Structure 1
Amino acid sequence: MAAHNELGKKGEQIACDFLIKKGYQILEKNYRYLKAEVDIITQKENILAVIEVKTRSTAYFGDPQDAVNPKKIKQLLAAIDFYVLEKGLVVEVRFDIIAIVHHHAKTKIEHLEAAFLYF
């Protein structure tokens, strides 16, 4: 597996551990719909929190969350529309980003709740 893929998987595990400690229930990891992949789908109370995880080994080229572009947002919206309908859920949906800078044994985690809006 390429180093960037390994870093991404490690970041997703760090994010899951972080979310569980904050009281979120992990419903799905790497949920796929058409061309979209949702990193983590969680629930906390009546909120379905859709989590996009961005992991970098350095912030030298910018913050990890800056990599979430309009195309990715559009794909996430379509995937979650389908997921909510498929599961018959009646919940509030929120889109979060967990930005991780992980270098050797040092990890910085930033949880951006409601990072973008859902209409």
Structure 2
Amino acid sequence: MAEHNELGKEGEKLAIDFLLKNGYKILETNYRYLKAEVDIIAKKDNTLAVVEVKTRSTDYFGNPQDFVNPKKIKLLLSAIDYYVVDKDLDVDVRFDIIAIIYQKKETKIEHLEDAFLHF
């Protein structure tokens, strides 16, 4: 497996642990709908958190969250629209980013709630 894929998988594990420690229930990981893949679908209270995980080994080229583009957002929106209807859920939906800078000596995790409001 390519090094960046391993980094991404490690980041997703860190994000899941982070969410569990903060009271979220993980409903799905790597949920696929058409061309979209949702990293994590989690629930806390009556809010469905759609979580895009971005992991980098450095912030030299920018913050991890800066790499979520409008095309990805559009794909996530369509996937979650389908998911909510398919599962007949009555929940509030929020789109989050968990940005991780994963280094051997220090790992930084930032949870950006309602992240797509800023795009």
TM (norm. structure 1) is: 0.97
Matched, 1:70 2:70: yes
- Please state how far the C-alpha of 1:105 moved relative to its aligned partner: 3.7
| 1: CA distance, partners of 2:47 / 2:7 | 28
Query: Which amino acid in structure 2 is aligned with residue 104 of structure 1?
Result: K
Partner residue of 2:35?
Answer: 35
SS in structure 1 at match of 2:115: strand
Q: Which residue is equivalent to 1:112?
A: 112
TM-score w.r.t. the length of structure 2 is 0.97
Distance 1:42 1:20 in 2: 9
- Percent identical pairs in the alignment equals 73
| Unmatched 5+ stretches in structure 2 | none
Written as runs of structure 1 = structure 2, the 5 A alignment for 1:1-119 is: 1-117=1-117
The AA in structure 2 aligned to 1:115 is A
Aligned length: 117
Q: Which runs of 5+ in 1 are unaligned?
A: none
More strand by share: 1
Runs of 4 or more, structure 1, over 6 Å off, are: none
Please report the RMSD computed on the Cα atoms of aligned residues, expressed in angstroms: 0.6
1:54-77 Cα distance to aligned partner (Å, 9 max, x none): 000000000000000000000000
Corresponding letter in the other structure for 1:58:
T
Deviations 1:62-103 (A, max 9, x none): 000000000000000000000000100000000000000001
